[in-house]
Structure 1
Amino acid sequence: MKSYSLFAGLSLLASSASAHYIFEQLTHAGTLYAAYQYIRTNTNYNSPVTDLTSNDLRCNVGGETAGSTTTITVNAGDAFSFTADIAVYHDGPLSMYMAKAPTTAAAFDGSGQVWFKILDLGPTFNADGSSTWPLAQTYSYTIPPALPSGDYLLRIQQLAIHNPYPAGIPQFYISCAQITVTNGGTGTPGPLVSIPGFITGTEPGYTVNIYTDFTNYTVPGPAVWSGQSAGGAAATSVVGSSTVVKTVATSSTAVVVSSTTSATATATGAAVAKYGQCGGAGWTGSTVCTAGSTCTVTNQYYSQCLGWKYEEAG
């Protein structure tokens, strides 16, 4: 199995110039909008960014300005999704960031120590020694309920680490949506970081060889904002040798991602694709997940179809 994985990784390295993927569509309130309607258009097609010192790490090549992209209005606590042109297929973590614009989202280039992380998705480590990455075409989350009102850039980042470093340089697949948040909370997002600068290139999560002795993983970059909900509980992600520990932003409880027990939403309705929303306060869509995933409570506002199963921490 490991030799096959190594062969597959080297094969991907040899074909790294082939087509990749780009997050080009935003979903909100059940509507999948046209490509680049609310997501900034990039000029490098679906190629990755690899230079850790480049401003292109913010919103991709060509994404430093709004161009023809417009800004969507959402409420704090609303669900949203990013959808790529094809499913993500390079192994690596997925993260979401936000940055508050000093004026409008359309006028903001993302400069300064203004970015904060709201989500990390790392690997699941299986009992047989293998690992499973959260690879999908659509990734869903919620606007943090505690987020103050205002204009923001909403950034998705998939870090491909499928090519063993340093021969293979990790690849960033990035897009930014422009949003106006209304009915916001009174939280203070943080820690705040600058992009570029948020990853130095020395982090184990950046340099790791996922084909050799891969038993633990920490997503590089800042900690996830710990006060996303009104209750202000933690929302960080730590990945261990056999268990993903995700302390989620809820009012009083922590949630542990494990391979044994589960606390899932009630399953009713048509199937929802893996990583899609399947529940939460005000949710009126389906609560049934496609085979291989379970409708899992992240917080009171959001449940998601995941391959992991959760247990409440005692």
Structure 2
Amino acid sequence: MHYSKLAYALVAIQPVAAHTAFTTLFINDVNQGDATCIRMFHDPERATDPVNDLSSPDMACGFDGTVGVARVCSAQQNSKLTFEYRIWPDASQPGTLDPSHKGPCAVYMKSTGSAVSDKGTGDGWFKIWDEGYDAAAGKWCTEKVIDNQGLFSVKVPEDLAGGNYLVRSELISLQQADKSPPNPQFYVGCAQIFLESKATTLPQDTVSIPGYVTINDPSVLFSIYDPKPKPYTTPGPPAYQPGVSASTQVTAVTQQTEGLLPAGTVLTNGNWAGTEVKSYTDEKGCNEAAADCWKESQSCYDTAPVTGHANCEIWETKCEGIRSACDSNSFQGPPSSGKMLTPASKKVVTPAAVNERSSSSSSSSTKSVPANPPVAENQPVSHIPYTPSIFPVRMFASPSPFPSRSQNAHAMFTSPPLPDDEIITIPGSTTTTTIWTSTTILSLPPGSPLPTGWSSPPPPPPAPSLPNPDPGPPHPTILKPTQTAPPPSDPDATSPTHVETDKTAECGEGKQKCEGEIRDLFGSCCSAHGWCGRTKNHCGRGCQGAFGQCRQVKREGRWIGR
């Protein structure tokens, strides 16, 4: 009997609008297993849905997050925790989050008597790290997570007392925060850990979740489209700093008593553990072992998380082996008794902990930056100094700080180019690569040779006058790439002026056309996916159903576009 071919098989559901979910925890670079020790949404179709209601209990640990899972992962004092986010929870396709979904990140912890039974809601939460907009890198935290293939790491404060904790990761997408009504999107999830530590300190100041942020807070109403960058303050309290923040002394818990693997475990899938069947020496025992094995197989599929059931299929193979032995009158078993069947996790190079940076660097978006600082060659993107100007730019030293991405600067940004008459020269003498909104501009000292694939544009018209202009230093040579990248893949965050239209006025498999007001506002095709509609900006504006449904959910009396 193959349960994977029956009702216990998970159906692959395509995520909507390139949302994301926290799927995997690494402790000191060791993969704990997909969904292991993590509270996750049980519905595979909505597994990547963001939390939109900031007063909901879902703000603590996500949908279905008030119910703990069976496993609690052990972490040593001052461990590095790495969080992986995926568009497709089962990793059937690559992707972290749509690039248009920009915003801050944070990690919170909560000390609890039981990591399994604590609902997560209420007081007791303290922040250990956050990052908003990095002016030096010209990137939001979520963009850095995307660059790192969905991974980011933090260090557990070294003075935290031993015991059970919930660890909450948080990504916030602000692409609809400035809409009416505002719709900031929170992607949160909680891991259950036991901290092996003899330290006896806990933060004195904690916050309640929900409650630490409201829909009226500036941090969730911030417009990421403002052409003039402003300082951004992350939501919630300041991060706890060992030896600096107020603290209290407690008695450490030194022995883990919950969430451990049962004795005799030979296979795991998420938070399910399969233990070896009883040994047998006769036909009756063999048949009983086979029946018990198939019963556990059903349990594996019943409890499989949205990250998948691949290891349940391995258990099926084990059951088939026992059944085959019984049918062959081989009553000494089980075969390969006690053999560990859980496959080795794929090796992943995790990033360094973001809260281990030197004291000279800061994740705060409000940190002042000295004027015209030097840029060292091969300097990491997170440490490149940046002088704010009237234009938002992204800056990075050459070569590219993202070796996993294209080494060509103009291939790293997906917005379409501006017309020649909209290219803006930016004063300065430092060799940098600079991007303004949706074009790529390379700034070089006079006389420098052109990189491969770049060419000089026609001389631009005079720049528009600005209030109180500062002539600044002489303008360097301005270049533009000869090739451009495709437009953004998700219309969630694009305003009508940024939507790439289809010149044939057709899109979708049936070559349909958008109708009425929607065509006037968003062009012939509203989405790079060939869909007309889908977000709350597009739905209800005359879209044809053949382009894809306007899938919405009603929460707290509000319709939220998916």
TM (norm. structure 1) is 0.67
Task: State the match for 2:33 in structure 1.
Answer: 34
State whether structure 2 residue 214 is matched by structure 1 residue 197.
Answer: no
Task: Tell me how far 1:140 sits from its aligned partner.
Answer: 0.3
- Measure the CA separation in 1 of the matches of 2:126 and 2:63: 21
> In the alignment, which of 84, 87, 102 is matched to residue 96 of structure 2?
87
Letter in 2 for 1:28: I
Deviation of residue 226 (structure 1)? 2.6
Say if 2:131 is the partner of 1:121: yes
Q: Secondary structure at the match of 1:34?
A: strand
Distance 2:106 2:83 in 1: 12
Aligned length: 234
Deviation by residue 1:199-224 (Cα, 9 ceiling, x = unmatched): 02222211111111332100011111
184 and 198 in structure 1: CA distance in 2 versus 1, 3 angstrom threshold:
farther
Once the two structures are TM-superposed, the CA of residue 150 in structure 1 deviates from its matched residue by 0.7
* 1:72 aligned residue: 73
Give the letter for the 1:153 counterpart. L
Shift of 1:166: 3.7
Separation (CA, whole Å) in 2 of partners of 1:28 and 1:112:
26
2:232 corresponds to 1:222: no
Check the 8 A contact 1:112/1:194 in 2, yes or no.
yes
Q: Relative to structure 1, is the Cα distance of residues 262 and 157 closer, same or farther in structure 2, using a 3 angstrom cutoff?
A: farther
Residue in structure 1 matched with residue 163 of structure 2 by the alignment: 150
1:227-278 Cα deviation digits (max 9, x unpaired): 2xxxx1469xxxxxxxxxxxx789xx83334695799xxx9xxxxx999xxx
CA shift at 1:32, angstroms? 1.6
Give how far 1:164 is off: 4.0
Matches within 5 A, 1:50-61: 50-61=52-63
Deviates most, 181-190 or 71-80: 181-190
Is contact 1:117-1:190 (8 Å) kept?
Answer: no
Q: Is 1:186 the counterpart of 2:195 in the alignment? A: no
Distance 1:199 1:184 in 2: 33
The 3 A distance-change label for structure 1 pair 57 and 34 is same
Give the corresponding residue for 2:359: 254
**Greater strand content:** 1
Q: Deviation per CA, 1:268-312: give whole Å up to 9, x if none.
A: xxxxx999xxxxxxxxxxxxxx94169xxxxxxxxxxxxxxxxxx
**Matches of 2:75 and 2:375 in 1, distance apart?**
31
Question: Whose radius of gyration is greater, 1 or 2?
Answer: 2
1:207 aligns with 2:206: no
TM superposition shift of 1:106: 0.7
More helix by share: 2
Amino acid at match of 1:19: A
Deviates more, 1:76-85 or 1:37-46: 37-46
Q: Give the secondary-structure state (helix, strand or coil) at the position aligned to 2:203.
A: coil
Distance 2:130 2:81 in 1: 16
> CA shift at 1:17, angstroms?
4.7
Q: 1:249 & 1:177 partners in 2: Cα distance?
A: 21
Greater RCO (CA < 8 Å, at least 6 residues apart): 1
Point out where structure 1 has 5 or more consecutive residues left out of the alignment.
1-15, 236-247, 268-272, 276-289, 295-314
Q: Alpha-carbon deviations, 1:30-49, whole Å to 9, x = none?
A: 22232111111213310100
Contact 2:80–2:156 (CA<8 Å) still a contact in 1?
Answer: yes
Opposite residue 292 of structure 1, the aligned amino acid is P
For the 8 Å contact 2:76–2:195, the answer to whether it is kept is yes
Partner of 1:152, secondary structure, is strand
Distance 1:179 1:202, change over 3 A: same
Bigger shift: residues 53-62 or 198-207: 198-207
- Give the Cα–Cα distance (whole angstroms) in 1 for the partners of residues 374 and 206 of structure 2: 35
Q: 2-side partners of 1:166 and 1:51: how far apart? A: 15
Question: Is the CA contact (8 Å cut-off) linking 2:66 and 2:121 kept in structure 1?
Answer: no
Q: Distance in 1 between matches of 2:381 and 2:24?
A: 17
Distance in 1 (alpha carbons) for counterparts of 2:175 and 2:163: 37
> In structure 2, do the counterparts of structure 1 residues 164 and 80 end up closer, same or farther at CA, with 3 Å as the change threshold?
closer
Give the CA deviation at 1:185.
2.2
**Do the aligned partners of residues 184 and 262 (structure 1) sit closer, same or farther apart at CA in structure 2, a change above 3 Å counting?**
farther
* Cα distance between partner residues in 2 of 1:122 and 1:29: 25
Task: Say yes or no: does 1:172 pair with 2:181.
Answer: no
- Evaluate the alpha carbon distance shift between residue 202 and residue 79 of structure 1 in structure 2; reply closer, same or farther with a 3 A threshold: same
Distance, in Å, in 2 between the alignment partners of 1:123 and 1:184 is 36
**One-letter code aligned to 1:95:** A
User: What secondary structure sits across from 2:234 in the alignment?
Assistant: coil
Residue type at the aligned position of 1:116: F
Gaps of 5+ in 2: 1-14, 87-94, 247-354, 363-368, 383-398, 404-562
2:172 aligned partner: 159
C-alpha distance in structure 2 between counterparts of 1:190 and 1:93, whole Å: 25
Identity %: 27
Give the Cα separation in 2 of the matches to 1:233 and 1:261: 32
One-letter identity of the residue aligned with 1:30 = D
What's the CA shift for 1:80? 1.4
CA RMSD, Structure 1 to Structure 2 (Å): 3.1
